[in-house]
Structure 1
Amino acid sequence: MSTYEVTRNAVIPAPPEAIFPLVNSFHEWTKWSPWESVDPAMQRSYSGSDSGVGAKYAWSGNRKAGSGTMEIVEATEPDSIKIRLEFAKPFKAVNPTSFTFTPSDSGTQVTWTMTGENKGVGKLFALFMNMDKMVGTDFEKGLAALAGAVKQRRA
């Protein structure tokens, strides 16, 4: 069985305390998530806590958006957030995802990491698609949008 990890970093010119809430609440993800615009008719539902541990988000969309759930399983303000990401479509997968917020000279280094296993259909898919390139590009877009959302919020 092969495993993979996708990680991207960006320095956002704001303190961790300004960035953390935008990731710690799925209600805020519409402002910066790279996947929000994939399907304008995507259905979303929220359950559990409003933010932090126990916050849950489910989505169902077109072929490109797929469907699945996310749940915040650990949140240490303002340092890190761990999410259980589970895809139902286009193929079943569980991808532990984390965000870390590390103060730096010019703001906060935000690190977004997703790990997974290539098995079943995913293993076949991995033969043709480079997960790091495919998902990494989305992470880069998301981190840039997160920086924009923080800037807007602080304006």
Structure 2
Amino acid sequence: MLKKILLGVGVVLVAFLGFVATRPSTFKVERSTTVSAPADVVYGFVADFNKVGAWSPFLKPDPARKDTYTGTPATVGHSVAWATSDGSSQGKMTIVALNPPAQLQLQLDFVKPFEVTNETVFRFESAGDGTRVTWVMSGQNGFLSKAFSVFMDMDKLVGSDFEAGLAALKNLSEAEAKAAARTVEAAAPAGTVATDTVK
């Protein structure tokens, strides 16, 4: 009886491992939103990692995590490295290419709880009077990632954080654009009408 049970478990395990091996070797998560603000305003919140914590769910201020910023914001090489006090999470995000204010490419290096490198791209495209912002993350699926994807949908899991981050980025960018427009209007000489304002 025991042999039959062990044989059955072995067959199931082999079948599961075979199924995991057929899972996609790459992944891609993508979300977009339209912001009523100029591209350079939105770009500024993404290209300066000192500001990213104000909108990204992944870098919200956390007393249990130490963040180290290096390089000049909005330039290649600008980075933020993080490490939790308990050592459970560690990694680094670095700007590797840019085309302001149209596109920003980042490299995400995760060290703990596992080592993996992913690519993140932000695109900023004209959309009427505003900007269409697209956030994309892609990378390779190792065996553990493939096994994880059997039980959890990577797109839904990470995509919900992307959506929350883009919503916060939209609010911050639109508020800054409106504040800038009010400043321009206040500085305009009496009798003139300021242009390029955000409604």
TM-score by length of 2: 0.72
Contact 1:11 1:106 in 2 (8 A): no
Contact 1:91/1:122, CA 8 A, preserved across alignment: no
Number of residue-to-residue matches in the alignment:
154
Could you tell me which residue of structure 1 aligns to residue 153 of structure 2?
130
Q: CA deviation at 1:116?
A: 1.2
Instruction: Please state if 1:8 is matched with 2:31.
Output: yes
Larger Rg, first or second structure (1 or 2): 2
Is 1:147 the equivalent of 2:170? yes
Residue 31 of structure 1: SS of its match in structure 2?
Answer: coil
The reply to whether residue 25 of structure 1 matches residue 38 of structure 2 is: no
Question: Which residue is equivalent to 1:93?
Answer: 116
Amino acid at match of 2:130: G
- Once the two structures are overlaid, the 10-residue window that deviates more, 47-56 or 70-79, is 47-56
Runs of 4 or more consecutive aligned structure 1 residues displaced over 3 Å after TM superposition: 37-40
1:117 equivalenced with 2:140 (yes/no): yes
Q: 1:61, 1:12 → 2: CA distance?
A: 33
Question: In structure 1, the residue corresponding to 2:68 is in which secondary structure?
Answer: strand
Indicate the structure with greater strand content: 1
Tell which has more relative contact order, 1 or 2 (C-alpha 8 A, sep 6+).
1
2: CA distance, partners of 1:14 / 1:130: 33
| Aligned counterparts of 1:8 and 1:118: Cα–Cα separation in 2 | 20
Instruction: Report sequence identity in percent.
Output: 39
In structure 2, runs of 5+ residues without a counterpart are: 1-23, 180-199
Correspondence for 2:97: 74
Residue deviations 1:33-73 (CA, integer Å, cap 9, x gap): 1123484422100112233211011011278x822101100
Question: Do residues 57 (structure 1) and 85 (structure 2) align?
Answer: no
Higher fraction of helix: 2
SS at match of 1:140: helix
Unaligned 5+ runs, structure 1:
none
Cα offset for 1:129? 1.6
